[in-house]
Amino acid sequence: MKLNWKQHLLFFMLSQTVSMLGSSIVSLALIWHVTLQTNSGIAITGITLTTFLPQVFIMLVGGVIADRFPLKRIIIISDTFIAVSTICLAVLYINGYQSIMWIYVFNCLRSLGSGIQMPATKSILPEFIPMEELMRANSYSTTTWSIVQLVAPALAGISLSMFSLSMVLLIDVVTAMIGIGLLFFVPVPFVRKQNEGNSLTDLKSGFHYLQTSKKLKTIMVLYAIFQFLVVPASQLTPLLASNHLGEELWILTSVEVAFSFGAILGSIWLGHKKITFSYVKLLGYSIWIFALAMGCIIFAKSVYLFALCMLIMGIGSPFYYTPIITMIQEYSEPQYMGRIFSYVDLFSTIATPLGMLVFAPLSQFNLFIPFLLPSIGLFLVGIWIFKNEKKIFTS
C-alpha cells in the first residue's frame, strides 16, 4: 500500500523524536554527571564548550554536505556516527576508564555529528512534503521538539538515579537504532544537485546566494536579532524567579514546564489551523507576544502570574520559529538550502552567547533591565516587520 505524505511525515517525526529524546537524555546526563563528580564551574564550562563549539565549527561544512548528497543518507550516517561515539564512551566507562577527559573527547565527536546533521534535517521536509503543507509539517516537527524538551530532563534524572552512566549512554545507542529504522520507511527522492567545486567554493557561492536574496538575508537577520533579544527569557528567568518567588526547586521547575507546555500548545495550533494571512504577519504578532510577556514578567510576584508569562512566551516561540523555517524552505533554491540553513544556524547560535555577554552583566546592576530593554527592542522589531512587509517580502 502506497503511503501519503502525512504518513511519511509521521514516520519521520517518530524517527526524529526517538532519536532526539535519546540524545537529549544522554546530553543532560553527561552535564549532570560532570557537575556531581567535580562540583567545578571550569569542568561544567568544559562540557558546555564541547557540546556547542564543535557544532559551530562544522555547521557550514554540514550545509555543503547537505547540498551535495542525499539528505536521508546524511541523517542516517550522522546518527550512526553519534551512536558509535556514544557506545565507545560507554565501553571505556564499563572497563574502568572513567575520566572526565574521555567525556570531553567523545562529547566533541557527538557534537560534530549533530553539526553535520542539523542542516540536512531542516532541509529534508520539502523533498517529500507538498510546498503548501510545509507550514503544518514544520509545526508538527516543532511539537515533537517541544515534547522532547519537556520530558527529557525528567527521564534523564530518573535514568541517572537508577543506572550507571555507562548504562544511560546506551539509551542513545538504542534510540538511534530505532530512529534509523523508522527513517527507512520514509521515501525521500534525491534530485542530483550540481556540485560547484571544492567545499570552500561551495561555501562562498552559498554566501553569495544569501547576499543576493533580500528575503533570505532579512529572515536571517531577523532570526539572529530574535535569538539575541530572547536570551534573558531562555537563560535568566530562573534567576528572576528565584529572586521574586523563592529558590524552591518546584518553583523553578514549574516555570520551565510552563514554557515547554506553551510551546507545545502553539505548535499544535499551527499544525491544526490553516494560516490564511502571511507568514510575515505571524512573525510580527509572535514578536509582540514575546515583547508583552517579557515586559510583564518582571512585575509577576506570584508563581501563577510568572508561569502564565512563561506560558505565553512558550506559545509565541513556535509562532516565530516555524514560519522562519518554512519561509527559508520556500524561498531557497534546493541546491542552496543546506548552506542557507547552516548560515542561519551559525548566526543564531552565535547570537545566544553574545546575548549572555550583554545581558548577564546588566542583571548584576538591576535584574529588570535585561528583560525590559529586550521587550522594547522586540516591540520595535515587530513595528519594523509590519512597515516593511510589502517592500521586502512581496517584491
CB atoms within 10 A of CB 187: 12
Neighbouring residues of 191: CB distance < 8 A, sequence distance ≥ 6: 127, 334
CB atoms within 10 A of CB 356: 18
Look at 190-194, 198-202, 355-359 and tell me which has the smallest mean pLDDT: 190-194
Q: What is the model's pTM? A: 0.79
Q: Which of 44-48, 49-53, 71-75, 274-278 has the highest mean pLDDT?
A: 71-75
Helix pair angle (5-38, 165-183), 10° resolution: 170
Going by pLDDT thresholds of 50, 70 and 90, the confidence category of residue 1 is very low
Residue pair 313/290 in contact (Cβ under 8 Å)? The answer is yes
Integer Rg of the chain from CA: 21
Q: What's the mean pLDDT when you consider all of the chain?
A: 84
Going by pLDDT thresholds of 50, 70 and 90, the confidence category of residue 384 is very high
Residue pair 344/220 in contact (Cβ under 8 Å)? The answer is yes
Q: DSSP assignment, residue 133?
A: G
Residue with cell 540536512: 120
- The predicted model gives 310-324 an average pLDDT of 88
> 340-377, pLDDT tens digit by residue?
888 888 887 788 778 877 887 887 778 888 889 999 99
> 11-25, pLDDT tens digit by residue?
888 998 999 999 988
The yes-or-no verdict on residue 174 having pLDDT over 90 is yes
Residue pair 82/176 in contact (Cβ under 8 Å)? The answer is yes
Q: Which of 216, 123, 251, 107 is nearest to 169 (CA)?
A: 107
- Taking the C-alpha atoms of residue 389 and residue 374, their distance in angstroms, rounded to an integer, is 22
pLDDT score of 223: 87
The yes-or-no verdict on residue 333 having pLDDT over 50 is yes
| Homologous superfamily, domain 5-182 | MFS general substrate transporter like domains (1.20.1250.20)
pLDDT score of 193: 56
- The predicted model gives 76-88 an average pLDDT of 94
The yes-or-no verdict on residue 180 having pLDDT over 80 is yes
The yes-or-no verdict on residue 145 having pLDDT over 70 is yes
Q: DSSP assignment, residue 332?
A: S
Return the C-alpha cell found at 233.
527569557
Residue pair 359/231 in contact (Cβ under 8 Å)? The answer is yes
Q: Which of 177, 235, 279 is nearest to 370 (CA)?
A: 235
Residue 386: what are its φ and ψ, rounded to 5°? -65, -35
Q: Which of 103, 102, 115 is nearest to 53 (CA)?
A: 115
pLDDT score of 379: 93
pLDDT score of 199: 66
- Taking the C-alpha atoms of residue 171 and residue 380, their distance in angstroms, rounded to an integer, is 45
Residue pair 70/190 in contact (Cβ under 8 Å)? The answer is yes
- Domain range summary for the chain, segments of one domain joined by +: 5-182, 199-393
The CATH topology of domain 199-393 is Growth Hormone; Chain: A; (1.20.1250)
Q: H helices of 67-197, where? A: 71-94, 100-123, 134-162, 165-183
Return the C-alpha cell found at 319.
509562532
Per-residue 3-state assignment (H helix, E strand, C coil) for 219-241: HHHHHHHHHHHCHHHHHHHHHHH
Q: Which of 335, 352, 345 is nearest to 114 (CA)?
A: 345
Cα–Cα distances in angstroms (integers) from residue 392 to residues 215, 281, 385, 386, 395, in the given order: 6, 13, 9, 11, 6
- Taking the C-alpha atoms of residue 296 and residue 310, their distance in angstroms, rounded to an integer, is 10
The yes-or-no verdict on residue 236 having pLDDT over 80 is no
pLDDT over 90 percentage in the chain: 19
> 245-297, pLDDT tens digit by residue?
776 767 767 777 888 888 888 888 887 777 766 788 888 888 999 899 998 98
- Taking the C-alpha atoms of residue 193 and residue 335, their distance in angstroms, rounded to an integer, is 6
Q: Which of 332, 379, 18, 53 is nearest to 183 (CA)?
A: 18
pLDDT over 70 percentage in the chain: 92
